[in-house]
Every structure is written in C-alpha cells, then in structure tokens.
Amino acid sequence: MKTICTLILLSLIFSSCGVPQKKYDEVILERDSLLVIVADNKKLIERNEELSQSLSKLRENFDKVWKEKFELEREKNSKIVISDSDALNYLKDYYAFYDSDKLYRNPKLRRVESNRYIIS
C-alpha cells in the first residue's frame, strides 16, 4: 500500500511538471521572433554607428569649408572697392597714356564683381 501511494504521488508530481506542447511551441516561436528582433537591432546599431561616423566627418568638412569661406570673405572685404566713377577715370587715364592716338567716346562700364568691369 505504501508503494502504491508513493507511485501515485510520484506520477502526480511528474505529470504536473510537464509543459503542454502548445505552450512549448508558443515559447519557441516567441524566442525565434525575439532573436530576429535582436538581429535587426544589431544591424540598426551598426548602421547608426556608420551614420554617426559619416556625420562627424561631414561636420569636420563643414567646419573646414566654413573657415575657408570666412577667410575668403574677410580677404574679399579687406580689399578696397572702387566706385564706378573712379573706374571710369582710371580707364580714361589708361586710354590717355597708352592709346593716346585713338579716340574713345563715352566708354560704358558694367560691374561684374567688386573690382571687375566690362567695358563697352
């Protein structure tokens, strides 16, 4: 009798410890989906690191170009810009000195850049 009770008790314990196949399959599917999500997240992290590195390179290049632009603008602004009337006087003086035998009437100036003109 004692052995029968022990066997019944052991069979109850072992039968209650088992997991139904349906729950086991659900856990396996959830684990597989989580593994896929983890792999996707790893790829996203790698891509994010690549993008952050390229962003830092772009920032360095931007800073370099901005400094060059600043230097060029400072150099450009440090030059003296002559007025249209001064440019016309310089032109007449040039014609009077180098081409004194030719006659130029009413030369017109058109400003291209700060100190560059087109003569017509």
Q: What is the DSSP string of 37-52?
A: HHHHHHHHHHHHHHHH
Rounded average pLDDT over 93-115 = 78
Q: What are phi and psi of 105, to 5 degrees?
A: -110, 130
How far apart are the C-alpha atoms of 82 and 89, rounded to whole Å? 11
Kindly report, residue by residue over 37-95, the tens digit of the pLDDT.
999 999 999 999 999 999 999 999 999 999 999 999 888 777 777 888 888 888 888 88
| Distance of alpha carbon 26 from the chain centroid | 44
In a domain, 23, yes or no: yes
> Are residue 37 and residue 63 in the same domain, yes or no?
yes
> Residue 101 corresponds to which tokens in the numbers above?
């035998």
Which residues span the domain enclosing 46? Answer: 17-78
How far apart are the C-alpha atoms of 94 and 86, rounded to whole Å? 12
Kindly report, residue by residue over 11-33, the tens digit of the pLDDT.
767 666 667 789 889 999 999 99
Residue of 115, 97, 99, 89 whose CA lies nearest to 107: 89
Q: What is the pTM of this model?
A: 0.46
> Are residue 72 and residue 90 in the same domain, yes or no?
no
In a domain, 9, yes or no: no
In a domain, 27, yes or no: yes
Q: What is the pLDDT of residue 17?
A: 67
